[in-house]
Amino acid sequence: MTIPMGIAIFFTMWWIVLFAVLPFGVRSQHEAPDYAQGTDPGAPVAPKLLLKAAITTGVTSVLFAALWWFMEHQ
């Protein structure tokens, strides 16, 4: 696998894993005891995007390493 192909595969895998991780632990403002008036009740209270990006990077790194190993050793 070439470096540009590896970067492209990692980037694609990262976005797919991010969309899988985004819904975890999200509470809408409708579920919260108090929320800002004038906002959408379905908006998340605290999305924790940096934590989810870190989790996504970790999961993607493990998956990419497994894919790389499989492609190199088949």
How confident is the model over 63-71, as a mean pLDDT? 96
- The domain total for the chain is 1
Within a domain: residue 40? no
Asked whether residue 64 is domain-assigned, the answer is yes
The whole-angstrom separation of Cα 64 and Cα 34 is 41
Q: What's the mean pLDDT in 45-54?
A: 93
User: Which ranges constitute the DSSP H helices of the chain?
Assistant: 3-21, 49-72
In-domain check, residue 59: yes
Position 43 in a domain = no
Q: Answer yes or no: is 19 within a domain.
A: no
Question: What range does the domain containing 52 cover?
Answer: 48-74
pTM for the model stands at 0.83
In a domain, 5, yes or no: no
The predicted structure's pLDDT at residue 30 = 81
